[in-house]
Structure 1
């Protein structure tokens, strides 16, 4: 760093200490004062980054092993989002020691020198004003940008950090995202600040859920749309409805309701739910996820409205849960985690997945029926995962393979079985699934001559390759799927009755998307898989709830991907939906959208670019509307 810059920096700190006004944030000014008065740091002395010893790092990591494990998925996702922008992610414990780290290996030596590395200590007492250290002291999310740092050696850096709190309300760690050479002013890191806040909240929620996996968790949000997908706040309750844990955002809300400081979490723990909300333990069961979010309203003691979701070991009132017979509890055991993301509050799907979870652990063949796009293959994969079978999951689309090739593809062939056959022979798809699961998709389209051969495989437990004289023993689990009505196909002679009974040891019908209660939460989940900050406008959610979805989940996913490509800010409006869907938009929604666009154009004196910015849409959205309104222009 140039000497003149360092001198100016030291002079600025001295002026602050003399009581002069500063353009820096109050957080930075207060930290500078602490650095001199409390830690006796000298701003004119550059202190090299401190990396703790390997033994010391092991001790810090061991003390925080569970948190590191829980946070790892969220940190991986956050690093994926910022990949290519040269950010470094640090997870530091409550003493400021970096216990987990994500960075580009190409810059490892430079990052290590800067202290953006595993084992670096970033406490204020050692490093002065910095993202991690100042976050630990204040307990708030913040950005320490370039000259905000106390030590001039850190002035090239921009560090944005957010605190992660334990369920008991005390600081557990700090998540920091830093740049070696940040572009532009401090405001350029606002997105980074949003991302670390969001990631820290997700880690806190995951930690609370893990700690209370056999207990009760109440999630609550101001709006119902994202309650079942990404709740704002969450608290844990014991069997009597008393507070035993919380996320930090919930701590702040409850402290405000109780009239105390969020920095005194002990005052909140142990309080009954009625101290914060106009309810009690006996009536909380009505907030179970199998009801529409909008029907789960909860009034706080200050009469503010919230939407809430209760989840726990069963749906009986809390004060009865500890006395339930053990057999009742086992009957309500949660399905295998492999089924976790296949429903988001639909009661029918929840019951179906509960049954599938039990069947998965057996060798019973499974037949899945339902319209195209309802998720039959994903369910088949979940059944395979939950089964614990060591072999592969082999999927065969019986409708996609030409009839002339399907026999060889399914059953394989012996050496020299036909012209062009592999000299050493080849295993078929059925044999490839040995020890695992064979998924026969569109089984209703299998040619009749092959149905007989498949029946023999299932009944004999062995497969005979084309041209072979001896069979290969098999240990396979068969899951098949179809969108056809197999009963009518059997009646017409197109499908063998005996094969049907071999396949349908357990038979499940997947509901169409238009019939599911969790359509809107599912849409939000799918949207956020394509863009983490995706939001659906009220008009879009209203349209999604009314649309028939003939293509089901597959159509919904494709629609969301297309719409997100047209959206600059990932907030979806009706204008971004495909034309084929827009033609089916109810007239009331069309008029509402049209009025909004025309009003924006009028308010912007016909300036399309300004109107697009006002509405938060791309200019092409405005132009498409104008073309639809005046097709001759």
Structure 2
């Protein structure tokens, strides 16, 4: 079986490429297939796909035909359709039949001289038209016409048109490849005919006159390429003619006279110019930048707002490429080529400045190939500097692969989180401070919507009077100190991505009702605003508090709790993770040293014992900061107990409680937990030069927790 590649695009029939291997049209192959056919018909156990020279598609069709009980010695000669069914089919395909008959008349001399029979089949195998003489086929009792017969794999087995329609490409069958013996001395070539939507609606077939049982090489090489090339070319011409006829019919219906037609073209052209001018004017009035690019990123058109964003002059637009302004890790062009309508957050490199923009990608693709023709990019007018973006926590760098553990219970919870990540429902992550709740949130985000923004909000760290404007944004002039142009809130900036609300238990009750309405309606109104704006985001909330108990105590809204806790994950504290303490210690040491290019020290058994015995109230975050402290104080290649922070050494002191009670009162006072905690805080402040955020990081606790403890212990800073 041989075939041509035959493509049809939106702008017309494209280039036709034909490759026919000489070995496929050899006398040797003909004879081999004929022997295989004879063995196959005589022995039901024969598998034709194992024979040399056999095409696998043909072999599969033979097997299907035999299973369906098709008689290889029978030819469809009687109509298997009712007159009403046939009339409906012919009427439905009238334009196709007329165009094919007209085309056949033009090539009738060639068809007759070559002894071909031309068939036109609809997509179901009904013969709509046949031209040429059937007299040379002795097995066909009716010589006039076979029009109206349903010929498919169920009735005649393997045929060129059946494989052509099934494989959606031009096909040529050598005589013995036909399942029906009546055609085993003929070469049949078929090509698909597509409609305006690129769907196959029919097949055009040339069947040669019967050849000798085994034709000569020269005959095969003349008939094969000639008939396949001719039928494919005619199919292309026919598709073009049908489109032209359809266009001509539409034009003739709309234009009774040539002068009117020309006038309408002129009117349409004037309207096109007007619409283009209006569109250009509309784009010029937009505050948001709009850039049109080709598949390579070359800028085709840009409005004035876009030129301001990219700092371009009108005379240099056509020579610039959007890739010049994107970071090396940008996925914008990849998403555009995939044909995805999506909004992404991209970093723009404009001169020496770095800005983050929300860019709406609208690709325009070819209908037949789905290849990108061009893409329209809309830049949000609200840019966020890289520094502001990092402060807002909008970079999700952690993945599930980066979370380290050997603890069975922890790994079980991690697998559950991976399953939850594939769900669109809200997720509540619970656990003590420092257990890695935000890492879980980032990993879930990088599974759900890695191309979207990740907006992290710590509900405990924001002042009560500002949290609403931070979450929902505000319009210009809403309150004293508000920016003139207004500012989007974290929820609005999370559109198309994930909103992570950390310490959700500290959210004011009055604001919980507003958040609940946002989750239900998926829309927000800025502070001082008058209209709602649609938002689409995933929500992940986290807390180290018992929200269920808070609901009982009327400290947290019950309806919001059940909305947040559709899927709940609980992260165990580090002290319950067994050998993970040692594993994570070594992991943090190695990562920190590799980052700075230092030699990697090892933990001494004594230091490891201290680390294992400590309870780690600050959990993983505290352990990481402890290892950083140890690496920075180590002398040599071994971390010893003296390289660990004082609070670990004091808490892991081997003195017994009874000894302390009965012994030196000074020692008892020194080892009191409150005194140890106060000493640890004062030490951290000393190391951080009284800068609270750094001190909180050293201690492995949140800033809000540290502020509270500073007030409790009356520590000045």
Would the TM-score normalized by the shorter structure come out above 0.5? Answer: no
TM-score (norm 1): 0.39
TM-score (norm 2): 0.35
